């Protein structure tokens, strides 16, 4: 088995091989893994592989690609095999990263402070003043603990001689740590025994340290500091990670317009007013953070943030302006700066880099252009790397001309031949070689930098790739750092929570979060209602499926389908063929009104709420949508579609179960429940109105099934449905969660609770609706076509609509409004 496994994995000759030390001889630290794989029957490996794949999908691990026309969430690519690093080797990497982070932080402090490095000629002015990431308004700010670089990542590559080199620094808002954590959770489950036996170092403490260090340096105030994670929003490529980290670290996930600056401090707009924010872990680029003092065209930032940070009233991590260090120009100067600032040589070297702004370097680059990579000097230039070895004579001339014209704007680097590591081939049970790079992460603590033991191994899409890009279809690996002793845990700095710090109500709910919860409730209900309607309709009209075939109810149901947009309005009654096509589309095609479209809306809202939904909740949601959309465009038997609808409805039941049993009863939950009940009330009103005005003698079984009340009815009456008991159950029965009375009472209670908490917000309290319910006389009014009943239904529907409006005006409206920039001369 082992031979077979390794048959397609040639030992690298011109590059470092992570796996083999000699032909067919795995290095000691890889052996247990290879042996395990070889020992597993093929079935077992396949099952593990599927489990990894399913978990990525179910947990909704995505990496958005801007260029993707659908803007779709692309599933994260994760290889089954971890990358393995022995303890001693990791020790060297760790020391190099700690030193580098320390050095970069000092450079940053100097450039945004005294500027001794500039004045003493240790840094050419072009590297600072010519860098669009040098943010002048941020100079002179005070930084708690002299830390600007709180969170740092370095991209490492291993050269053929086995040494690790830094090929890039991520200093602004490094991404990947959350993905690394997610990779770890999934892969450690695939190899539980091996993971324990090898004593793989854990990641959890690192994240606790990130959170505690932020809290440590946040400006002092009464009580515990309030930290938020600032995201550009769901369209960002790494939004999954923002939501994931926010949830993992217990931070509020906010967008720019959730925050405001008053009195030089940052505040979160919450349901109950403004709440002071002490620390911001940001994933928004520097220059987008404040449209008042930085990029004026940013719609994502917080006007006044720079000033608040400058005054020391909020900790921004990383400090604004740290993008400055994301320039390859700096690499050549670091050895010298390490000597000057730290008094020691640079431990982990950078890949050889020449900044063309130095005349001597320019000449050397021109002479060797055929074997170098030419890159933009500054990240803002967005220059694609040019490989000298790809250039013909004309191309070379053009590049040289370009370098001479604007030498300051370019750097040249040596091409690193990336090391190769094995990946699992999905198609066949075997290993394939792929180029890899390692992204490692460090976090500032009061005791110096701490490195995450592990990292994100990035895998190129081809065996001999020169660059690794997640944007271009790269994959990833969990990264295991082995320990010889017991897995260590270092002490945390956390200040302990005192009695006066205890929090009960969710007062820090952002207005946007609340609005999303409200719509989450509505779309859950709307999706479920459409699934139920489709199930009843399909049971009735579908071929081969026995259903209640009362033809007299047909027009009512057709009208319900029309109201829901699932059938074209007006015209003659559709034929069976037309109808079945329409139903099929309504189930699977999200471009048409129907279940798939409602689910898409639900997912859109849910993706704004990711940090509030539990992973289980999220998985249930993902299963729902994926099951339905998989059927799109495929010829599926009606019976299979019915099964799909059954599963979907079971899924919705699970979702309401989470809402009922898995969420704290805070005001946010109340908004979710209000959304659900409003939606259900409106839907009930529409359905009942159409039914009551329909044929008097029709069989009402379908209505009971639609309203999920058939079991109750049968248990109570053991008879064929009749108007009086059916309407009593669906309208007046307070115990039936599908009745009008149940919705109205709940809405009245919620409205009262919200008014108690937040003061008046409009006059609709459902008192009228409740009175209307009580005044109904079932004996006389619960008849088909009854005018008093119809008038009441209209009143309830109007009350529901009014309440929705009033909630929106009071609690949601100011968030949606965009701010705009003005200039006067």
Partner 1 sequence: MRLSVTHETRYRYSSPVVLSQQLLHLTPRVLPWQGCHAHQIDVEPTASEMTQREDYYGNRTASLVIAVPHGELVVRAASAVSVEPRAQVALAAPKSSWEAVRARLSALDAPPLAEPAEFLFDSPHVERSRELADYAVKSFTARRAILESATDLARRIHRDFKFDRTATSVSTPLKQVLRQRSGVCQDFAHLMIGCLRSIGLAARYVSGYILTAPPPGRSRLVGADASHAWASIYCGERAGWADIDPTNNCIVDDAHVTLGWGRDFADVTPMRGVILGGGTQQLAVRVTVTPGLEATIESK
Q: Tell me the closest approach of the beta carbon of residue 331 to partner 1, in angstroms.
A: 17
Q: Is 697 in the site for partner 1 (CB under 8 A)?
A: no
User: Could you tell me if 254 and 230 are in contact, meaning their C-beta atoms sit under 8 angstroms apart?
Assistant: yes
Neighbours of 329 (CB within 10 A): 27
User: Could you tell me if 441 and 180 are in contact, meaning their C-beta atoms sit under 8 angstroms apart?
Assistant: yes
Q: Tell me the closest approach of the beta carbon of residue 531 to partner 1, in angstroms.
A: 40
Which residue from 137, 219, 233, 555 is in contact with partner 1, where contact means CB under 8 A? Answer: 137
Neighbours of 402 (CB within 10 A): 16
Residue 660's nearest CA partner among 682, 681, 676 is 676
Cβ-based nearer residue to partner 1, 66 or 823: 823
Residue-wise DSSP of 253-299: EE-GGGEEEETTEEEEEETTEEEEE-EEEE-S-GGGS-TTTS-TT-S
Q: Is 124 in the site for partner 1 (CB under 8 A)?
A: yes
Q: How far apart are CA 441 and CA 317, in angstroms?
A: 14
Task: Classify each residue of 128-144 as buried b or exposed e, where b means 16 or more C-beta atoms within 10 Å of its C-beta.
Answer: bebbebbbebbeebebe
Place of tokens 């082995």: 482
User: Could you tell me if 332 and 351 are in contact, meaning their C-beta atoms sit under 8 angstroms apart?
Assistant: no
Cβ-based nearer residue to partner 1, 262 or 371: 262
Cβ-based nearer residue to partner 1, 496 or 825: 825
Cβ-based nearer residue to partner 1, 291 or 422: 291
Which residue from 291, 332, 521, 772 is in contact with partner 1, where contact means CB under 8 A? Answer: 291
Which of the ranges 291-299, 451-459, 621-629, 799-807 carries the binding residues for partner 1, by CB under 8 A? Answer: 291-299
Which residue from 38, 49, 185, 292 is in contact with partner 1, where contact means CB under 8 A? Answer: 292
Q: Tell me the closest approach of the beta carbon of residue 825 to partner 1, in angstroms.
A: 5
Residue 265's nearest CA partner among 308, 206, 204, 203 is 308
Residues 6+ apart with CB under 8 A from 602: 520, 523, 524, 526, 527, 621, 625
Which residue from 14, 23, 66, 121 is in contact with partner 1, where contact means CB under 8 A? Answer: 121
Give SS3 for 105: helix
Residue 282's nearest CA partner among 262, 258, 261, 254 is 254
Cβ-based nearer residue to partner 1, 230 or 704: 230
Q: How far apart are CA 186 and CA 178, in angstroms?
A: 13
Q: Tell me the closest approach of the beta carbon of residue 622 to partner 1, in angstroms.
A: 36
Q: Tell me the closest approach of the beta carbon of residue 820 to partner 1, in angstroms.
A: 6
Q: Tell me the closest approach of the beta carbon of residue 75 to partner 1, in angstroms.
A: 38
Q: Tell me the closest approach of the beta carbon of residue 192 to partner 1, in angstroms.
A: 53
Number of chain residues interacting with partner 1 (CB under 8 A): 39
Which of the ranges 136-144, 387-395, 513-521, 788-796 carries the binding residues for partner 1, by CB under 8 A? Answer: 136-144
Which residue from 91, 129, 446, 494 is in contact with partner 1, where contact means CB under 8 A? Answer: 129
Q: Is 405 in the site for partner 1 (CB under 8 A)?
A: yes
Q: How far apart are CA 509 and CA 10, in angstroms?
A: 55
Sign (positive or negative) of CA dihedral 426, 431, 432, 438:
positive
The Cα diameter of the chain in Å comes to 100
Q: Is 132 in the site for partner 1 (CB under 8 A)?
A: yes
Cβ-based nearer residue to partner 1, 290 or 589: 290
Residue-wise DSSP of 628-679: HHHTTTS---HHHHHHHHHHHHHHHHHHHHHHHHTS--SHHHHHHHHHHHHH
Which of the ranges 57-65, 119-127, 241-249, 328-336 carries the binding residues for partner 1, by CB under 8 A? Answer: 119-127
Residue 181 dihedral angles phi and psi, to the nearest 5° = -65, -45
User: Could you tell me if 176 and 439 are in contact, meaning their C-beta atoms sit under 8 angstroms apart?
Assistant: yes
Cβ-based nearer residue to partner 1, 163 or 398: 398
Residues 6+ apart with CB under 8 A from 784: 692, 693, 694, 695, 696, 723
Q: Is 382 in the site for partner 1 (CB under 8 A)?
A: no
Which residue from 307, 414, 699, 749 is in contact with partner 1, where contact means CB under 8 A? Answer: 307
Query: Which neighbouring-strand residues pair with 293?
Result: none
Which of the ranges 120-128, 209-217, 559-567, 577-585 carries the binding residues for partner 1, by CB under 8 A? Answer: 120-128
Which residue from 176, 303, 332, 694 is in contact with partner 1, where contact means CB under 8 A? Answer: 303
Q: Is 22 in the site for partner 1 (CB under 8 A)?
A: no
Could you say which residues in the range 349-368 bind partner 1, by CB under 8 A? 358-359
User: Could you tell me if 654 and 663 are in contact, meaning their C-beta atoms sit under 8 angstroms apart?
Assistant: no
Q: How far apart are CA 13 and CA 817, in angstroms?
A: 60
Q: Is 125 in the site for partner 1 (CB under 8 A)?
A: yes
Name the pairing type of β-strands 265-270 and 372-376: unpaired
Q: How far apart are CA 616 and CA 291, in angstroms?
A: 38
Compute CA distances 668 → 241, 612, 751, whole Å: 23, 10, 13
Compute CA distances 121 → 132, 330, 398, whole Å: 20, 13, 32
Cβ-based nearer residue to partner 1, 83 or 261: 261
Q: Tell me the closest approach of the beta carbon of residue 115 to partner 1, in angstroms.
A: 7
Site string for partner 1, 139-158 (x = CB under 8 A): xx------------------
Give SS3 for 83: strand
Q: Is 168 in the site for partner 1 (CB under 8 A)?
A: no
User: Could you tell me if 317 and 173 are in contact, meaning their C-beta atoms sit under 8 angstroms apart?
Assistant: no
Cβ-based nearer residue to partner 1, 775 or 821: 821
DSSP letter (8 states) at residue 510: B
Q: Is 404 in the site for partner 1 (CB under 8 A)?
A: no
Q: Tell me the closest approach of the beta carbon of residue 817 to partner 1, in angstroms.
A: 6
Could you say which residues in the range 78-117 bind partner 1, by CB under 8 A? 115
Q: Is 118 in the site for partner 1 (CB under 8 A)?
A: yes
How many residues comprise the chain?
825
Q: Tell me the closest approach of the beta carbon of residue 135 to partner 1, in angstroms.
A: 9
Q: Tell me the closest approach of the beta carbon of residue 762 to partner 1, in angstroms.
A: 19
Q: How far apart are CA 650 and CA 370, in angstroms?
A: 62
Site string for partner 1, 646-685 (x = CB under 8 A): ----------------------------------------
Q: Tell me the closest approach of the beta carbon of residue 346 to partner 1, in angstroms.
A: 21
Q: Is 273 in the site for partner 1 (CB under 8 A)?
A: no
DSSP letter (8 states) at residue 317: E
User: Could you tell me if 500 and 265 are in contact, meaning their C-beta atoms sit under 8 angstroms apart?
Assistant: no
Site string for partner 1, 233-262 (x = CB under 8 A): ---------------------------xxx
Name the pairing type of β-strands 475-481 and 83-85: parallel
CA torsion, ordered 432, 433, 434, 435, to nearest 10 deg? 170
Which residue from 161, 392, 697, 817 is in contact with partner 1, where contact means CB under 8 A? Answer: 817
Q: Tell me the closest approach of the beta carbon of residue 297 to partner 1, in angstroms.
A: 9
Q: Is 823 in the site for partner 1 (CB under 8 A)?
A: yes
Q: Is 383 in the site for partner 1 (CB under 8 A)?
A: no
Q: Tell me the closest approach of the beta carbon of residue 301 to partner 1, in angstroms.
A: 9
Cβ-based nearer residue to partner 1, 132 or 487: 132
Cβ-based nearer residue to partner 1, 131 or 439: 131
Contact residues toward partner 1 (CB under 8 A) are 115, 118-119, 121, 124-126, 129-130, 132, 136-137, 139-140, 260-264, 291-293, 296, 303-304, 307, 358-359, 405, 408, 814, 817, 819-825
């Amino acid at each position: 088995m082992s031979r077979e496994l390794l048959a397609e994995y040639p030992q690298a000759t011109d590059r470092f091989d992570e796996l083999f030390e000699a032909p067919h001889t795995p290095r000691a630290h890889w052996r247990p893994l290879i042996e395990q794989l070889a020992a597993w029957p093929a079935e077992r490996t396949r099952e593990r592989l599927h489990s990894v794949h399913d978990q990525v999908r179910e947990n909704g691990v995505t990496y958005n690609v801007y260029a993707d026309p659908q803007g779709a969430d692309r599933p994260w690519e994760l290889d089954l095999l971890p990358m393995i690093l022995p303890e001693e080797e990791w020790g060297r990497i760790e020391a190099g990263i700690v030193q580098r982070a320390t050095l970069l932080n000092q450079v940053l402090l100097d450039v945004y402070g005294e500027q001794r490095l500039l004045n003493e000629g240790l840094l050419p002015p072009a590297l600072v003043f010519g860098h669009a990431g040098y943010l002048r308004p941020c100079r002179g700010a005070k930084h708690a603990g002299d830390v600007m670089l709180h969170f740092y990542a370095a991209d490492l590559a291993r050269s053929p001689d086995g040494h690790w080199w830094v090929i890039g620094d991520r200093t602004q808002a490094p991404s990947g740590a959350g993905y690394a954590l997610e990779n770890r959770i999934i892969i450690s489950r695939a190899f539980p025994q091996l993971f324990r036996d090898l004593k793989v170092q854990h990641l959890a403490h690192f994240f606790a340290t990130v959170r505690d260090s932020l809290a440590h340096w946040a400006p002092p105030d009464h009580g515990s500091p309030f930290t938020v994670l600032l995201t550009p929003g769901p369209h960002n490529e790494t939004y999954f990670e923002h939501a994931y980290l926010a949830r993992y670290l217990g931070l509020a996930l906010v967008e720019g317009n959730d925050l405001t600056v008053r009195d030089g401090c940052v505040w979160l707009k919450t349901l109950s007013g403004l709440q002071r924010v002490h620390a911001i872990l940001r994933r928004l680029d520097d220059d987008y953070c404040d449209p008042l003092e930085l990029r004026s065209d940013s719609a994502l930032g917080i006007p006044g943030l720079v000033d608040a940070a400058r005054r020391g009233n909020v900790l921004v991590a990383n400090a604004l302006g740290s993008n400055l260090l994301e320039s390859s120009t700096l690499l050549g100067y670091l050895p010298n700066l390490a000597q000057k600032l730290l008094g020691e040589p640079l431990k982990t070297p950078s890949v050889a880099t020449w900044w063309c702004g130095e005349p001597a370097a320019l000449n050397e680059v021109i002479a060797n252009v055929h074997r170098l990579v030419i890159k933009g000097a500054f990240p803002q230039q967005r220059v694609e790397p040019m490989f000298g070895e790809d250039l013909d004579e004309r191309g070379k001339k053009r590049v040289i001309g370009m370098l001479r014209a604007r030498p300051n704007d370019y750097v040249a680097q040596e091409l690193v031949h990336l090391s190769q590591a094995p990946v699992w081939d999905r198609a066949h049970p075997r290993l394939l070689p792929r180029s890899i790079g390692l992204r490692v992460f460090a976090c500032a603590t009061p005791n110096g930098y701490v490195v995450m033991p592990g990292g994100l191994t990035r895998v190129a899409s081809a065996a001999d790739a020169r660059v690794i890009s997640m944007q271009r279809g790269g994959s990833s690996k969990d990264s295991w750092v082995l320990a010889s002793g017991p897995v260590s845990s270092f002490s945390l700095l956390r200040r302990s929570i005192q009695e006066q710090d205890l929090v009960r109500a969710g007062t820090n709910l952002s207005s946007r979060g609340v609005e999303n919860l409200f719509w989450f409730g509505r779309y859950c209900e709307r999706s479920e209602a459409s699934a139920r309607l489709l199930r009843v309709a399909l049971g009735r009209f579908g071929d081969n499926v026995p259903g209640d075939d009362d033809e007299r109810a047909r027009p009512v149901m057709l009208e319900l389908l029309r109201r829901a947009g699932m059938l074209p309005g007006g015209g003659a009654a559709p034929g069976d063929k037309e109808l079945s096509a329409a139903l099929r589309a309504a189930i699977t095609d999200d471009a048409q009104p129907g279940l798939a479209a409602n689910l898409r809306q639900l997912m859109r809202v849910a993706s704004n709420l990711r940090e509030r939904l539990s992973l289980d909740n999220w998985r249930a949601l993902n299963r729902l949508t994926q099951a339905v959309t998989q059927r799109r465009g495929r010829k599926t038997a009606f019976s299979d579609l019915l099964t799909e609808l059954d599963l979907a409805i079971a899924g919705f039941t699970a979702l309401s179960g989470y809402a009922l049993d898995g969420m704290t009863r805070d005001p946010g939950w109340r908004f979710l429940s209000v959304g659900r009940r409003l939606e259900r009330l409106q839907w009930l009103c529409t359905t009942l109105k159409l039914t009551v005005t329909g044929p008097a003698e029709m069989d009402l079984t379908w209505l009971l099934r639609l309203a999920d009340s058939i079991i109750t009815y049968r248990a109570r009456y053991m008879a064929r449905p009749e108007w009086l008991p059916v309407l009593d159950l669906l309208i007046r029965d307070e115990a039936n969660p599908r009745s009008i009375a149940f919705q109205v009472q709940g809405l009245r209670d919620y409205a009262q609770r919200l008014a108690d908490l937040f003061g008046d917000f409009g006059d609709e309290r459902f008192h009228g609706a409740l009175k209307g319910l009580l005044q109904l006389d079932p004996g006389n009014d619960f008849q088909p076509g009854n005018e008093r009943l119809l008038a009441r239904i209209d009143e309830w529907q109007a009350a529901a609509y009014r309440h929705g409006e009033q909630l929106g005006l009071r609690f949601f409206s100011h968030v949606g409004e965009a701010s705009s920039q003005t200039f006067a001369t």
